Structure 1
């Protein structure tokens, strides 16, 4: 019999690698076709229909609460001050409010993972922790042995290791979290996952569907493109703008966005109130909210923000 979990959406990240996009917009609120990134995680947790949901936030917390509240149902927001606690630090701070099972979900992971399948795997395996993973040929977080994590991989030292990538969703038994030290910040890998893997206490649930860590401008661009083409997870709410299919290809225009005739190529994504002037060209690119692409400018395979194209990956 499944035990209803306490769900924690982890939404306190600063998004350093996504700068300058995150200088004004916190990472959980990054617009994917004008829907905040964290709305996908909230929808997944709400789909369980059981157990309380807690959302932690720190950087630009007021903005996060205001932007996510319409998507959050009865979720409770916890603001971490004066600095973020780290994932394990957050779980330690919430111990008095957690049930016997705790389901954590990274707000910056765009995925179609079904949380009920992850919960079912945790009950079947009987390990103190179960991580959702996807196989990778390089950039692994874990080496696997059957349905268990056998080695924790430090990607900073071994960036090319094959194995499995942790996709930001996990179930922990409450007893495990009771052992966390009371210090902050406290990272999940160093304080919990690494030591538990070394003790043979971590099971894995393999996810064969979509999973993207939206942690760089390049991945942010990819996430928008995948959603535009319908290869990413379905939007949790109706799109605020409109998708257009023309001979030039598919494009998206957000609320109040405008484009001069002939300026949009395939994969053009104009977020709310963006403008593309005559003689400009946008293709396979995102034009940030309230931005203008002037006549003669070209935005291709990039994010246009701050009056200029950002090179993907230069976050």
Structure 2
């Protein structure tokens, strides 16, 4: 069914350039985001959810075995989406990959980013789109809005502190330390200082923005999994979730 009339002008980048070392040997001949849960690739789970939410413009970055991703997903028409690809000769880290993909995303201000290797089948994208409106209405708009999740067993120390709707790198009274889900909204200005095709990590950019109180966030307690090991993939395929 063509839902173009319901299209939302928010581009989305799916990050799919990682090598997936911890997933070997499964990733020796297949990009990690094409691994399947319930006979559907991790990328396909995301693409179907984005299509249901009305987001149409998708960019996927890739490096390791990237042509297999393009062969599997094509132009996105099977999902009622328009997919473009941002190939990297060698992986540019998260921020470097985002910087390279920006011309394809061409955001007016914000864009949506999802890690290709997370499994979050019921994530309410529509609620995040409501948050986008709130970001745009602020006098000093956040440079990032991060979806945070309870710390999983493999990452008990968490990443950042969430208090009310502010995200910080430093503990404050009443703040909860949570794990960044790999799902977030970013303003293009967060990446304006980065050079093209130079590897760059995302965390330092986020910490700089946090120091200026320009990172907001929310806690999501629904099903979320970092599909980081063959064991975790096997468990998810065995679950009834």
TM-score normalised by the chain length of structure 2 = 0.81
- In structure 2, distance between residues paired with 1:32 and 1:177: 33
Question: Which residue of 2 is the match for residue 114 of structure 1?
Answer: 124
Question: Which residue of 1 is the match for residue 146 of structure 2?
Answer: 131
Higher helix share: 2
1:144 aligns with 2:157: no
- In structure 2, distance between residues paired with 1:81 and 1:175: 22
Computed over aligned residues only, the root mean square deviation of the Cα atoms, in angstroms, reads 2.2
Who wins on radius of gyration, i.e. which is larger?
Answer: 1
Cα deviation, residue 72, structure 1: 4.7
Cα deviation, residue 62, structure 1: 1.3
Contact kept? 1:152, 1:194, Cα under 8 Å = no
- In structure 2, distance between residues paired with 1:219 and 1:14: 17
Relative distance call for 1:7 and 1:194 in structure 2 (3 A) is same
Cα deviation, residue 83, structure 1: 0.7
Cα deviation, residue 183, structure 1: 4.7
Select which of 171, 180, 201 maps to 2:194: 180
1:62 is paired with a residue of what secondary structure?
A: helix
1:165 is paired with a residue of what secondary structure?
A: strand
Question: Which residue of 2 is the match for residue 252 of structure 1?
Answer: none
Q: Which structure exhibits the higher relative contact order, with contacts defined as CA atoms closer than 8 Å and separated by 6 or more residues?
A: 2
Select which of 100, 104, 111 maps to 1:102: 111
Select which of 210, 213, 225 maps to 2:223: 210
Per-residue CA deviation, residues 121-169 of structure 1 (Å, 9 max, x unaligned), is: 233254221011112372311112221111179xxxxxxxx72111111
- In structure 2, distance between residues paired with 1:152 and 1:4: 34
Contact kept? 2:56, 2:80, Cα under 8 Å = no
Select which of 11, 14, 17 maps to 1:12: 17
2:85 is paired with a residue of what secondary structure?
A: strand
2:179 is paired with a residue of what secondary structure?
A: strand
Relative distance call for 1:179 and 1:119 in structure 2 (3 A) is farther
Question: Which residue of 1 is the match for residue 5 of structure 2?
Answer: none
Contact kept? 1:9, 1:42, Cα under 8 Å = no
Higher strand share: 1
TM-score normalised by the chain length of structure 1 = 0.63
- In structure 2, distance between residues paired with 1:200 and 1:95: 24
Select which of 74, 78, 95 maps to 2:81: 74
Question: Which residue of 2 is the match for residue 35 of structure 1?
Answer: 40
1:22 is paired with a residue of what secondary structure?
A: coil
1:289-308 to structure 2, matched below 5 A, reads none
Cα deviation, residue 51, structure 1: 4.8
Contact kept? 1:41, 1:106, Cα under 8 Å = no
Relative distance call for 1:186 and 1:21 in structure 2 (3 A) is same
Contact kept? 1:16, 1:22, Cα under 8 Å = yes
Unaligned runs of 5+ in 2: 1-7
